[in-house]
């Protein structure tokens, strides 16, 4: 299997590649590979502003990308990614794209390679072969820090929050704002409030709660908020609803949708087909380390996706036998 096999949707997805450097990203060869200098395609320069509610109404709708045929540079564009651990080849020739303003669901059975792929995206593993393009430009990630510097944030399943610290402290952990040698607590609290209310989470008087007092859904919200607090362009969520109840799952999915509506590219890993269909714009299905299809959610049915996950093929879609 290769990119060519992933039929029509993949071919459509290939459309944008005709314009290797999107209209608003006039990056010359002299450009540094990491941001700072990188032009932003769909987000303002000021990270602090990106997630306010005000912002959403002002720009949110405009940032909603219209149908796939349009020339939109994928934020993330992987081609031909291989990854082996010793003699075990975990990823075979993966092609995967994530678009701004869209939720791309990454589905697959246990052991299909979802986590490995996410770790490659997040810079934890480096692929053995293949091309990693971020905002149209080829990059090489040596570490999670490189990924964060580009604007890639991964929310891992275990969330990685410090329970003895409060919400604000967790949001800014490792990237504290300071005034002189001291912490700028007021500034951080304000920004935390704005970010959380941008995610439509009411936080009056509660951003100083310790994480240990929060419910699972609230913790997930904090972890997601931490991912989008910075100038992130791509957010990868690993099973955000796995341990949550019905109501909390719905809240988290709402937040996921909001992130995409703000213009971020969101990659959502999930086992739950209802969640996937509720929130995603595209579905990418992995089967035994191969990308069997990347399709628009509207174009497939529940059953087709389940077939892709379990057998790698569904009608015209998927692996050729």
Partner 1 sequence: MSTDLPEGKETAVKLADSDFAADRREHDVRSALLDYWGRIRAGELGALPAILGLAALIVLFFALRPNTFLSNQNIANLCTQALPIVILAMGLVFVLLLGEIDLSAGVASGVCAAVMAKLIADSGQPWYVAVISALAVGVVIGTAIGWLVAVVRIPSFVVSLAFFLGIQGITLRLIGDGGTVPVRDDFIVALANKNMPVWLGWTLAAVCAVGYAATQLLRWRRQQARNLHSRPVELVVAQSVVVAGALLLGTYLLSQDRAASPLIFLGGVPWGVPLVGVLLIVCTFVLARTPYGRHIYAVGGNAEAARRAGINVTRIRISVFIIASGFAAVSGIVAASRLNSVTPDAGGGNTLLYAVGAAVIGGTSLFGGRGKARDAVLGGLVIAIIDNGLGLLGTKAYLSFLITGIVLLFAASIDALARRRRSNTGR
Beta bridge partners of 286: 108, 291
Q: What minimum distance in Å lies between the beta carbon of 107 and partner 1? A: 23
Candidate list 69, 182, 298, 321; residue touching partner 1; CB under 8 A: 182
SS percent in the chain: helix, strand, coil, step 5:
35, 20, 40
Q: What minimum distance in Å lies between the beta carbon of 50 and partner 1? A: 19
Distance (Å, whole) CA 59 – CA 44: 10
Q: How far apart are the first and last CA of the chain?
A: 10
**75-83, 144-152, 291-299, 301-309 -> range binding partner 1 (CB under 8 A):** 144-152
Residue 177 DSSP one-character state = -
User: Using CB under 8 A as the criterion, what x/- string covers residues 232-261 for binding partner 1?
Assistant: ---------------xx-xx-xxx------
Report which of 280, 254, 276, 269 is spatially closest to residue 199, judged by C-alpha positions: 254
**6-14, 71-79, 189-197, 305-313 -> range binding partner 1 (CB under 8 A):** 189-197
**17-25, 111-119, 176-184, 269-277 -> range binding partner 1 (CB under 8 A):** 176-184
CA dist 55 → 33, 102, 142, 279 (Å): 28, 18, 33, 22
Question: Does 190 engage in binding with partner 1 (CB under 8 A)?
Answer: yes
Question: Does 80 engage in binding with partner 1 (CB under 8 A)?
Answer: no
Beta-sheet pairing, 152-155 with 234-238: parallel
Query: Interface residues with partner 1 (CB under 8 A)?
Result: 144-145, 148, 156, 159-165, 169, 173-176, 178, 181-183, 185-186, 189-190, 196, 199-210, 212-213, 215, 217-218, 221, 247-248, 250-251, 253-255
């Amino acid at each position: 299997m290769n990119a060519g096999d992933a039929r029509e949707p993949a071919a459509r997805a290939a459309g944008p590649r005709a314009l290797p450097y999107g209209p608003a990203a006039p990056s010359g060869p002299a450009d540094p590979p990491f941001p700072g200098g990188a032009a932003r395609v769909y987000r303002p320069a000021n990270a602090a502003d990106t997630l306010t509610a005000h912002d959403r109404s002002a720009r949110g709708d405009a940032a909603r990308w219209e149908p796939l045929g349009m020339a939109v540079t994928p934020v993330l564009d992987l081609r031909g990614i291989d990854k082996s651990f010793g003699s075990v080849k975990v990823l075979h020739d993966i092609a995967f794209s994530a678009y701004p303003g869209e939720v791309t669901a990454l589905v697959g059975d246990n052991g299909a390679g979802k986590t490995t792929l996410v770790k490659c995206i997040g810079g934890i593993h480096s692929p053995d072969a293949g091309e990693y393009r971020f905002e149209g430009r080829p990059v090489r990630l040596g570490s999670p820090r490189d990924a964060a510097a580009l604007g890639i944030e991964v929310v891992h399943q275990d969330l990685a929050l410090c329970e003895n610290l409060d919400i604000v402290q967790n949001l800014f952990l490792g990237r504290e704002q300071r005034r002189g040698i001291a912490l700028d607590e007021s500034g951080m609290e304000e920004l935390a409030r704005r970010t959380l209310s941008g995610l439509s989470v009411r936080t009056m008087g509660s951003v100083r709660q310790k994480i240990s007092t929060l419910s699972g859904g609230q913790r997930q919200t904090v972890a997601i908020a931490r991912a989008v607090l910075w100038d992130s362009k791509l957010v990868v969520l690993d099973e955000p609803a796995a341990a949550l109840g019905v109501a909390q799952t719905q809240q988290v999915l709402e937040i996921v949708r909001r992130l995409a509506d703000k213009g971020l590219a969101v990659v959502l890993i999930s086992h739950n087909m209802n969640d996937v269909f509720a929130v995603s714009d595209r579905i990418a299905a992995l089967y035994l380390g191969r990308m069997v299809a990347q399709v628009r959610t509207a174009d497939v049915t529940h059953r087709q996706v389940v077939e892709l996950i379990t057998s790698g093929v569904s009608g015209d879609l998927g692996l050729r036998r």
